[in-house]
């Protein structure tokens, strides 16, 4: 039913944690996870050797090792390799949590639905915060949830591929283009926590790049008025400032504890 797609590059320790979480999920929710697709950008840290003997009972493993041009290129490859109707991206270092069952995704079969957005557990070192999904209106575009909490219909991502020119906001660009479809253009929200991830990725470390890509996407892919575009710019700016302050404060707190 669901293919888990994992993108990895020289992060064997994080990959092991991710695979263990998928294995635990499959043990409890065996009717959901049917396939694990690992897309490896030619890692040199023994990832290939480790996966030669890796196995999850009842879950098919597809390991694809090939150079890519970036994370969104790898994600497109993962979608093309997957064989199930639904996909979720749980990348190396992220964890899949044992929280959902078939009744949590029944609405995904509706013709108007592109996927389901779940909650994610976001960690700032010792402190954790649940990021809940949100309903999205076409006149004010935004992501329904964090990337690791989005369960997609695979056929939607086959038709609306990720734009490989983006470094950070390709998922936002992709969702904006999904909104423009005549069907399969809405996302359901479910507050159950489906995954866990750590702060400190590229979106955290390069907020200016995130701002430029995100505002450019709104400018190109939406028909909202200049006023609402301005509101989006201001709102995003202050959200990024607040997030950076929170992230840096927690980094300082964690350093103080270690000392």
pLDDT tens digit sequence for 97-144 = 977 888 899 899 999 999 999 999 988 777 888 999 998 877 677 899
Any idea which of 40-44, 76-80, 244-248 has the lowest mean pLDDT? 244-248
The set of long-range contacts for 44-51, using a CB threshold of 8 Å and a minimum separation of 24, is 44/10, 45/10, 45/11, 45/12, 46/12, 47/8, 47/10, 47/12, 47/15, 50/12, 50/15, 50/16
**Three-class secondary structure of residue 58 per DSSP:** coil
Q: β-strands 127-131, 113-124: how paired?
A: antiparallel
Contacts of 63 (CB under 8 A, 6+ apart): 38, 40, 48, 51
- pLDDT tens profile 69-106: 999 999 999 999 999 999 999 999 999 997 788 889 98
- pLDDT tens profile 204-225: 778 888 888 888 888 887 777 7
- Nearest residue to 159 via CA among 178, 141, 132: 178
Q: So what's the pLDDT on residue 115?
A: 96
Asked if 56 and 23 count as a contact pair (C-beta separation under 8 A), the reply is: yes
User: Is 257's pLDDT higher than 90?
Assistant: no
Instruction: Using CA atoms of 189, 194, 200, 203 in order, give the dihedral in degrees to the nearest 10.
Output: -30
Helix/strand/coil percent split, the chain, to 5: 45, 25, 30
1-94 CATH: 3.90.550.10
Domains in the chain: boundaries? 1-94, 99-259
Q: Which residue, chain included where needed, has tokens 């909202």?
A: 224
User: Is 194's pLDDT higher than 70?
Assistant: yes
Asked if 170 and 221 count as a contact pair (C-beta separation under 8 A), the reply is: no
- pLDDT tens profile 141-186: 789 999 999 999 999 999 999 999 999 999 999 999 998 888 888 9
User: Is 253's pLDDT higher than 70?
Assistant: no
- pLDDT tens profile 4-17: 999 999 999 999 99
- Nearest residue to 6 via CA among 90, 108, 132, 120: 90
Helices (H), the chain: 12-28, 47-52, 71-81, 154-159, 170-179, 202-205, 207-221, 226-258
The Cα–Cα gap between 14 and 203 comes to 18
């Amino acid at each position: 039913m669901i293919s888990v797609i994992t993108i990895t590059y020289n992060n064997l320790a994080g990959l092991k944690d991710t695979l263990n979480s998928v294995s635990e999920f499959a043990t409890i929710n065996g009717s959901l996870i049917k396939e694990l697709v690992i897309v490896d950008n030619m890692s040199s840290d023994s990832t290939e050797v480790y996966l030669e003997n890796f196995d999850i009972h009842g879950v098919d493993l597809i390991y694809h090792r090939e150079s890519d041009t970036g994370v969104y290129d790898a994600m497109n490859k993962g979608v093309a390799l997957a064989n199930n109707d639904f996909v979720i991206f749980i990348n190396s270092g992220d964890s899949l949590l044992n929280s959902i069952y078939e009744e949590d995704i029944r609405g995904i079969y509706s013709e108007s639905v592109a996927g389901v957005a779940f909650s994610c557990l976001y960690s700032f070192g010792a402190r954790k915060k649940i990021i809940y999904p949100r309903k999205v209106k076409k006149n004010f575009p935004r992501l329904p949830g964090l990337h690791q909490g989005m369960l997609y219909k695979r056929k939607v991502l086959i038709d609306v591929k990720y734009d490989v020119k983006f470094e950070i906001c390709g998922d936002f660009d992709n969702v904006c283009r999904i909104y423009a479809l005549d069907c399969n253009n809405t996302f359901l929200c479910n507050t159950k926590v489906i995954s866990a991830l750590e702060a400190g990725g590229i979106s955290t470390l390069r907020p200016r790049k995130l701002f430029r890509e995100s505002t450019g996407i709104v400018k190109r892919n939406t028909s909202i008025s200049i006023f609402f575009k301005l509101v989006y710019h201001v709102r995003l700016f202050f959200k990024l400032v607040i997030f950076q302050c929170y992230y840096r404060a927690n980094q300082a707190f964690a350093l103080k504890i270690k000392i």
